[in-house]
Amino acid sequence: MRIALVGAGAMGEALLAGWLAAGWSTEDVVIVEPSQQRADDITARHGVRAVDLEEASGADVVVLAVKPHQVESVLGSISNRLGPESVVVSIAAGVPIRQLEELLPDGAAVIRVMPNTPALVGQGMAGVVRGTAATDGHLATVQGLMDAVGRSTVIEEKYLDALTSVSGSGPAYLFYVADAMIEAGVHQGLTRAEATELTVQTFVGSAAMLATGRAAATLREQVTSPAGTTAAALRVLDERGVRAAFLAAMEACVTRSREMAN
C-alpha cells in the first residue's frame, strides 16, 4: 500500500515517524512539502522520498496534513488525478466531510481523522469519521494506519469537534501542566533537571495508572490523605477555578474548531 503524506509539519511528521517505527517501509511512503528546506530535513531524518502533488495523487492513501485553510487548494490540485481505489484522508481540524467531498469528484472516498502527536511514540489517539463513499475496506485501511501508531475510534462527525477538544488538542494541555509543575518545582528550590525528572516520571506513572481503567476521580482520591498535603494543594486549584478553566478552555476549542469550517 502506497501512502502519500501531503504536508509534513508537526502532525504529519509525527504520523510519518510513527508509521516507519511501526514497520512501514520508506519505499511505501512519500511526502509533499512546499518548502525545499523542510522536505530535505524530512528526507534526511526519515529516508522517505519527497514528490510533487501530481505523483502523490496516485497513492492508495492520500493523507492531507496541511493547515485547514490549505485543504481546498491541495484538493483542487489532486482531485482529477486520484485513482479509482484511492482514499483521501484529511486530518485538518474543523473541515467537514461535506466540504471535502464537494471539492472532489462524485464518489471519491473520503475519511476524516483527528489524530494527536503522541502518534510519534506509538501512543496516539485518533477519531475516525467515514465519508459517504468510503467502503469498509477504506475504513479498515485508515483505522489500520491509526492503530499502528496508537488507538482509534470511529465516531459520528457531529462529535469530532468535542473529540478534538479532548484528544486532538489534549496533549498541549498536559504539556502545559507539566511545564507549570516543573517551573513550580524550580520555585521551591529544585534544579530544573530534578524538577523535570520528577514531573516526567509522575506523568508516566499516572498515565499508566489511568490506563488500567480505574476512574480518574478514584485515583485522585487515593492520593488525597485527610487534611494532608494534596488536599491543601487541590483546594487551591479549586479556589483558582482550574476545573472551570478546563471547561471553558475546551468549550473555546470546540468553538474554534467549528469556526474553521469554511
Ligand X SMILES: NC(=O)C1=CN([C@@H]2O[C@H](COP(=O)(O)OP(=O)(O)OC[C@H]3O[C@@H](n4cnc5c(N)ncnc54)[C@H](OP(=O)(O)O)[C@@H]3O)[C@@H](O)[C@H]2O)C=CC1
Ligand Y SMILES: O=C(O)[C@@H]1CCC=N1
Question: What is the chain's Cα-based Rg?
Answer: 21
Name the residue nearer to ligand X (CB basis): 39 or 134: 39
133 within 8 A of 102, measured Cβ to Cβ:
no
Side-chain-side CA neighbours of 53 within 13 Å: the count stands at 15
Q: Which does 35 bind (CB under 5 to 8 A by kind): ligand X, ligand Y, none?
A: ligand X
Name the residue nearer to ligand X (CB basis): 6 or 100: 6
Which residue's beta carbon is nearest to the bound ligand Y? 168
CA pair distance 147, 114, nearest whole angstrom: 13
Residues 143-172 that bind ligand X (CB under 6 A): 168
Q: Find the shortest distance in angstroms from Cβ 69 to ligand Y.
A: 11
Size of the site for ligand X (CB under 6 A): 26
The b/e string for 149-183 (b: 16+ C-beta within 10 A; e otherwise) is bbebeebeeeebbbbbbbbbbbeeeeeeeeeebbe
3-state secondary structure at position 155: coil
Residues sharing a CB contact under 8 Å with residue 1, sequence separation 6 or more, in sequence order: 28, 60, 61, 141
State yes or no: residue 51 binds ligand X (CB under 6 A).
no
Nearest to 11 by CA among 105, 124, 95, 104: 124
Q: Find the shortest distance in angstroms from Cβ 11 to ligand Y.
A: 7
Helices (H) and strands (E) in the chain, counts: 12, 8
Q: Which stretch binds ligand X (CB under 6 A): 44-52, 108-116, 193-201, 210-218?
A: 108-116
Name the residue nearer to ligand X (CB basis): 69 or 240: 69
Q: Find the shortest distance in angstroms from Cβ 217 to ligand Y.
A: 26
State yes or no: residue 93 binds ligand X (CB under 6 A).
yes
- 18: cell is 510513527
Q: Which stretch binds ligand X (CB under 6 A): 65-73, 132-140, 225-233, 236-244?
A: 65-73
* String marking each residue 112-131 x if it binds ligand X according to CB under 6 A: --xxxx--------------
* 200-207 long-range contacts, CB within 8 A, separation 24+: 203/174, 203/178
CA pair distance 168, 181, nearest whole angstrom: 22
Q: Find the shortest distance in angstroms from Cβ 27 to ligand X.
A: 20
Name the residue nearer to ligand Y (CB basis): 9 or 58: 9
Among the listed residues 61, 65, 128, 182, the single contact to ligand X using CB under 6 A: 65
- Applying CB under 6 A, the residues found at the interface with ligand X are 6-12, 32-35, 38, 65-68, 70, 74, 91-93, 114-117, 168
